Structure 1
Amino acid sequence: MPVKDLMISLRKTVGLNISEDQAGVINAYIELLLATNEKVNLTAIVEEGEIWRKHILDSLLIFSALDVPIGARVIDVGTGAGIPGLILKIYRPDLRITLLEAQQKKVKFLEKAVKQLGLKEVECLWGRAEDIGHHQNYREKYNLAVARAVAPLNTLVEYCLPLVQVDGFMVAYKGPAGTEEAKVAAGAIAILGGGDTTIWQHVIPDGEGKRFLIIVKKVKVTPPSYPRRPGVPAKRPLK
């Protein structure tokens, strides 16, 4: 499906409209992504239309699922090549974005991308969520934490919820396993200060199947002992 048709599909199916200027910035990002990918492994998808369908459109679904406040502080946990965080910023320039990534080579790519694309109020942060979650500059400072293709939900909530302020949200981008993951993670969500969990779903155009957004509201302060030390949330997820 041509890129223009994908943009039309996005507008028709979820009510989002990408301007020509925004599409131009996204295309510049894709060009940089693919050029860098020849040296640094950033994405397994190397065809422009596929990137639009599987990465760009997928990233933007959040704006149909959740009312993200103007000027919100957003952290993308385990951002990798900047998806979804950079795409959210291009679509909503008012957002203040932190891109958290544990691999330094990817952080260097993110810094280059932010500079070349002329994006403002984007912090590229090198570190692990288990450490950043205890840092006074980041702990419970965000209106929204997002994560895509990082970890099972019962691990992911321990990375994300300590970063979210009370009355904020975390959103996990998931595939068909998302519904079952939400059931398994219910206990962990409660322990970490999460409350109501909503599962939003949408069919991606051109036969790519359903996408699920797991939306968790933060209703109380996360206990100070969480997140646990690096590696523990993945090895021993909360129950």
Structure 2
Amino acid sequence: MLDKNNIINNLIKKAGVDITVDQAAAIKAYIDLLLETNKQINLTAIVEEGEIWRKHILDSLLIFCALAVPPGARVIDVGTGAGIPGFILKICRPDLHLTLLDAQQKKVKFLEKVVTRLGLNGVECLWGRAEEVGQNKNYREKYHLAVARAVAPLNTLAEYCLPLVQIGGFMAAYKGPTGEQELKEAAGAINLMGGTATKIWQRQLPGGEERRILVIVKKERVTPPAYPRRPGLPAKRPLK
């Protein structure tokens, strides 16, 4: 696939990431299925393949430039939607143990279809609310890394994600230009959830002017048992 599209190949190199021909083919198969299913259910507003590569795929892979994800890490993608960034991380790092979490059953069914079609191992497609999953002993504080992209403001996202992260693990929030301001507003929520040692990593997305920010939060203390609160409250009454 990369031999047919030098533009995509150049973008990948400029982003500072590296993928094999087989991984590129798997991502292409995912994109084809995404666009096919998008005709029936709304999975992505971006329908031009080159822009999917640039704005979804490359954006997803930037985490490997910003954070050393250890071999065999357990990763949960909170509010994954169509499986971005989770599927892209898994395709490029097959050693990862991935949970894809979404509250919409129709999207979870799509995720399951992708897993079957691509023959992916070590992927759990989970239908549920982050607030409920975060109180479930099978998932609470079990993950080395929780990622979220285009889900919620950072103060709400901290309550969704950090209860799922083990001590010593990380939350990584994919953000645009508002990321730095969101971090200032979310400092109290991050601290309450047990997170500290926050850093901002940023880069301009190749092929355009978009500035991408990753807010990376380290989990250093146990999240108080009262959090996350019941479904709906983190969004309606964000922590200060």
Give TM class, smaller chain.
over 0.9
Matched to 1:175, the amino acid is G
Contact 2:15 2:205 in 1 (8 A): no
How far apart in 2 are the matches of 1:36 and 1:98?
21
Post-superposition offset of 1:3: 4.3
Q: Deviations over 1:200-229 (max 9, x none)?
A: 001101214110000000000000000000
Residues 1:146 and 2:147 are matched in the alignment: yes
Aligned pairs for 1:194-213 within 5 A: 194-213=195-214
**Paired residue total:** 237
Any unmatched runs of 5+ in structure 2? none
Partner of 1:96 in structure 2?
A: 97
> CA contact under 8 A between 1:7 and 1:17: conserved in structure 2?
no
Partner residue, 1:67: 68
CA distance in 2, matches of 1:101, 1:12: 32
Where in structure 2 are the equivalents of 1:126-205 lying within 5 Å? 126-205=127-206
- Whether 1:118 and 2:101 are equivalent positions in the alignment is no
State the secondary structure of the residue aligned to 2:11.
helix
Please give the per-residue CA displacement for 1:164-186, whole angstroms capped at 9, x wherever unaligned: 00000000000000000000000
2:59 corresponds in structure 1 to: 58
- Partner of 2:197, secondary structure, is strand
SS at match of 1:185: helix
1-structure distance, mates of 2:11, 2:34: 24
Residue 73 of structure 1 contacts residue 144 of structure 1 at CA under 8 Å; is this kept in 2? yes
Opposite residue 144 of structure 1, the aligned amino acid is L
Partner secondary structure for residue 44 of structure 1: coil
Q: Decide whether the 8 Å contact of 2:15 with 2:58 is kept in 1.
A: no
Q: Look up the match of 2:46.
A: 45
Task: Write the distance in 1 (CA, Å) between the matches of 2:30 and 2:166.
Answer: 30
Secondary structure of the corresponding residue to residue 167 of structure 1: strand
Percent of aligned pairs with the same amino acid: 70
- Report the equivalent of 1:7: 9
Per the TM alignment, residue 96 of structure 1 is displaced from its structure 2 partner at its CA by 0.3
Question: 1:186, 1:167 → 2: CA distance?
Answer: 18
**Pairwise CA distance, 1:47:** 0.6
CA contact (8 A) 1:76 1:146 kept: yes
